[in-house]
Amino acid sequence: SQKIEQNSEALNIQEGKTATLTCNYTNYSPAYLQWYRQDPGRGPVFLLLIRENEKEKRKERLKVTFDTTLKQSLFHITASQPADSATYLCALVVTTDSWGKLQFGAGTQVVVTP
């Protein structure tokens, strides 16, 4: 069966350190993968997209990798800050039509302490 797995345990990290989140998937062949941030009581907000032919993508302090052989994406927050505390969702684009339906993981909560 198709599955997307993200760490269900919260990641507690000290300010200034790098937070690394994993997104593993099985029985999908996504061409694209997206990462979203969700704060409590709010809707997800898009952060980054990475294509299958891109090994790495960066945006400010965020870095995403996409390994289609391992069926895994890693999401890094460098020099983390308390404001980075949120839940981070990975989403696979599971259709190749122009509308690109998404399949979401359950998310990993990140808590950055001063």
Partner 1 sequence: NAGVTQTPKFQVLKTGQSMTLQCAQDMNHEYMSWYRQDPGMGLRLIHYSVGAGITDQGEVPNGYNVSRSTTEDFPLRLLSAAPSQTSVYFCASKTGGQGPYNEQFFGPGTRLTVL
Residues that bind partner 1 (CB under 8 A): 4, 8, 31-32, 34, 41-46, 49, 51, 89, 91, 93, 95-107
Nearer to partner 1, 55 or 101 (CB): 101
Q: What is the rounded distance in angstroms from the CA atom of residue 79 to the CA atom of residue 15?
A: 7
Nearer to partner 1, 52 or 74 (CB): 52
Q: What is the rounded distance in angstroms from the CA atom of residue 34 to the CA atom of residue 50?
A: 6
Q: What is the rounded distance in angstroms from the CA atom of residue 94 to the CA atom of residue 17?
A: 33
Q: How far is the CB of 65 from partner 1 (least distance, A)?
A: 17
Nearer to partner 1, 15 or 54 (CB): 54
* Owner of token pair 């990975």: 90
Which of 109, 101, 107, 105 lies closest to 26, judged by CA? Answer: 105
- Sign, Cα dihedral of 113, 33, 42, 63: positive
Q: How far is the CB of 46 from partner 1 (least distance, A)?
A: 4
Nearer to partner 1, 73 or 80 (CB): 73
Q: How far is the CB of 62 from partner 1 (least distance, A)?
A: 14
